[in-house]
């Protein structure tokens, strides 16, 4: 590997980390002030944003320890057979970079991942050393998110959790067959075994903390994972089912979905085109339905097209479910329990809370609901209010065009 200075390494290893969706701040135009004109840059290397457990948005230095890897996962730009420029930080360099970015107020924490160098244990030792040095040698109090190597010794993973705020292990692909085909060196059993180990440590520590205040913390911001969407033949139904299982079995804080993006020098087994970004968005919406709206995974799956197993792209999954199961509507805003109100398309959790509070004092009319919500046009066919009952409209076959968002003209030269 050619000798690179820290800035060159940062350029390579921050760029290589952008494929991890767990914290993303992409999507804006490229601008910089390298020519001496103006101030600031949208191309700053390695800074991303994430949400802390208390809801604050924090900036993180997001980098890889190295983009060299002994594995050859087809979808990964850092795989062994990839023709990319390689770089590797030492643990000390990552510590120094984090501290200097932190002191300049650029970041509030570190997001560290890595390709596998030498062995899983050696790589994990290096990751632990970064976190240990930050916490013990420098008393770093900022946020640390560590990506974990599932094949590493559980004791090393445990040590990492004692320093990190959040830990994550990527399941990568929604189906075991997809993982076997696209990441043959990875093993679903080992990945889930490591996630289970993290869950046990998190729960044990929570329990110990409840009894002894001095008990050491272990990944207090919990664990998360990421699934790649569109690299294999898995349907949205497969992805939703897998996500629900992961939430259930491993008490994950978040499952992140990352639309597969074709990489330079791509393997022939990968699709040539990326899936529509809207697919990723619909999966995030389905995730919210399960986490905040009381939908069961099989209900979200039922919103998908029966033939293809895919969620519609033109309407959100909650509306898709409501159109498919119209006999669950209309819902009476003055009498229905919270669970049913949450099913109404266009009613968010805040609007439902407002309705529940307001109806304690008086019967709600359609105008009252309109004042408490964003779009009464979308909601109207699905509710009953004091002065409103949509008898004919709810059963009308052409309901979808009436409530679906209007199609927007695409820009010919959009990026
Ligand atoms: S193990 Fe990770 S870094 Fe290595 S090729 Fe697979 S996905 Fe890429």
Taking only the tens place, the pLDDT of each residue in 60-97 is 899 999 999 999 999 998 999 998 999 999 999 999 99
pLDDT tens string 314-328:
999 999 999 999 999
- The residue with greater pLDDT, 95 or 377, is 95
DSSP calls for 129-141: HHHHIIIIIS---
Tell me, in angstroms, the distance from the centre of ligand 1 to residue 334's CA.
Answer: 53
Instruction: Name the band, by pLDDT with cuts 50, 70 and 90, for residue 40.
Output: very low
Q: What percent of the chain has pLDDT above 70?
A: 87
Q: Would you put residue 362 in left (φ > 0), alpha (ψ -120 to 50) or beta? A: beta
Q: Is residue 415 scored above 50 in pLDDT? A: no
Mean pLDDT of all residues belonging to the chain? 88
Tell me, in angstroms, the distance from the centre of ligand 1 to residue 311's CA.
Answer: 29
Residue-level pLDDT at 28: 38
Q: Which residues pair with 225 in a beta bridge?
A: 255
Residue-level pLDDT at 413: 47
Residue-level pLDDT at 37: 61
Q: Is residue 307 scored above 80 in pLDDT? A: yes
pLDDT tens string 144-167:
999 999 999 999 999 999 999 999
| Cα 121 to Cα 99: distance, rounded to the nearest angstrom | 25
Closest ligand 1 atom to 70 CA = 4
Does residue 78 have its Cβ closer than 6 Å to ligand 1? yes
Residue nearest to atom 5 of ligand 1 (CA): 79
Instruction: Name the band, by pLDDT with cuts 50, 70 and 90, for residue 42.
Output: very low
Contact (CB, 8 A) for 152 and 120: yes
Contacts of 1 (CB under 8 A, 6+ apart): 68, 86, 87, 88
Terminus-to-terminus CA distance in the chain, angstroms? 35
Q: Would you put residue 116 in left (φ > 0), alpha (ψ -120 to 50) or beta? A: beta
Q: Is residue 266 scored above 50 in pLDDT? A: yes
- pTM value is 0.85
Does residue 86 have its Cβ closer than 6 Å to ligand 1? no
Query: Exposed, middle or buried, 311 (CB in 10 Å: 0-12/13-18/19+)?
Result: buried
Q: Would you put residue 257 in left (φ > 0), alpha (ψ -120 to 50) or beta? A: beta
Closest ligand 1 atom to 114 CA = 3
Query: Exposed, middle or buried, 81 (CB in 10 Å: 0-12/13-18/19+)?
Result: exposed
Domains of the chain, residue spans: 6-25+43-224, 325-403
Q: How many residues does the chain have?
A: 415
Helical axes 120-132 vs 91-103, angle rounded to 10° = 30
Provide mean pLDDT across the span 221-236: 94
Instruction: Name the band, by pLDDT with cuts 50, 70 and 90, for residue 188.
Output: very high
Q: CA 48 from chain center: how many Å?
A: 13
Does residue 73 have its Cβ closer than 6 Å to ligand 1? yes
Tell me, in angstroms, the distance from the centre of ligand 1 to residue 78's CA.
Answer: 6
Instruction: Name the band, by pLDDT with cuts 50, 70 and 90, for residue 378.
Output: confident
pLDDT tens string 94-112:
999 999 999 998 888 999 9
Nearest-CA neighbor of 204 among 223, 217, 221? 217
Tell me, in angstroms, the distance from the centre of ligand 1 to residue 79's CA.
Answer: 6
Provide mean pLDDT across the span 5-11: 90
Provide mean pLDDT across the span 123-135: 97
Residue-level pLDDT at 374: 84
Residue-level pLDDT at 264: 74
Provide mean pLDDT across the span 242-251: 95
**Structure tokens, 50:** 């994430």
- The residue with greater pLDDT, 412 or 141, is 141
Contacts of 336 (CB under 8 A, 6+ apart): none
Tell me, in angstroms, the distance from the centre of ligand 1 to residue 183's CA.
Answer: 8
CATH 3.20.20.70 fits 6-25+43-224, yes or no: yes
Tell me, in angstroms, the distance from the centre of ligand 1 to residue 245's CA.
Answer: 24
Nearest-CA neighbor of 382 among 396, 372, 371, 368? 396
């Amino acid at each position: 590997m050619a000798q690179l200075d820290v800035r060159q390494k940062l350029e390579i290893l921050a760029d290589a980390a952008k494929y991890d969706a767990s914290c993303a701040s992409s999507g804006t135009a490229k601008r910089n002030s390298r020519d001496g004109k103006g101030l600031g840059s949208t191309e700053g290397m390695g800074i991303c944003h994430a949400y802390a457990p208390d809801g604050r948005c924090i900036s993180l230095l997001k980098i890889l320890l190295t983009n060299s890897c002994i594995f050859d996962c087809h979808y990964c730009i850092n795989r062994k057979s990839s023709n990319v420029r390689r770089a590797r930080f030492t643990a000390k360099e990552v510590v120094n970079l984090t501290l200097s970015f932190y002191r300049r107020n650029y970041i509030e924490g570190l997001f560290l991942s890595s390709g596998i160098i030498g062995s899983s244990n050696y790589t994990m030792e290096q990751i632990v050393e970064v976190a240990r040095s930050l916490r013990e040698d420098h008393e770093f109090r900022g946020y640390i998110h560590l990506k974990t190597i599932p094949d590493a010794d559980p004791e090393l993973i445990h040590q990492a959790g004692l320093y990190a705020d959040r830990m994550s292990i990527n399941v990568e692909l929604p189906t075991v067959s997809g993982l076997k085909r696209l990441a043959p060196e990875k093993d679903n059993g080992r990945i889930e075994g490591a996630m289970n180990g993290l869950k046990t440590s998190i729960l044990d520590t929570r329990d110990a903390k409840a009894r002894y205040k001095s008990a050491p913390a272990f990944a207090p911001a919990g664990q998360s994972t990421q699934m790649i969407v569109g690299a294999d033949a898995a349907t949205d139904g497969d992805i939703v089912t897998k996500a629900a299982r992961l939430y259930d079995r491993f008490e994950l804080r978040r499952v992140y979905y990352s639309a597969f993006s074709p990489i330079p020098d791509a393997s022939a087994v990968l699709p040539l085109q990326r899936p529509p970004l809207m697919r990723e968005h619909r999966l995030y919406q389905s995730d919210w339905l399960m986490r905040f709206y009381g939908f069961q995974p099989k209900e979200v799956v039922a919103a998908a097209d029966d033939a293809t197993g895919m969620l519609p792209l033109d309407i959100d999954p909650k509306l898709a479910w409501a159109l498919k199961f119209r006999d669950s509507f209309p819902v009476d805003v003055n009498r229905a329990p919270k669970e049913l109100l949450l099913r109404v398309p266009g009613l968010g959790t805040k609007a439902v809370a407002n309705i529940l509070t307001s109806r304690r004092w008086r019967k709600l009319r359609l105008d009252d609901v309109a004042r408490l919500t964003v779009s009464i046009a979308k909601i109207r066919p699905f509710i009953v209010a004091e002065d409103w009952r949509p008898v004919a409209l709810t059963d009308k076959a052409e309901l979808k065009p009436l409530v679906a968002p209007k199609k927007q003209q695409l820009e010919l030269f959009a990026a």
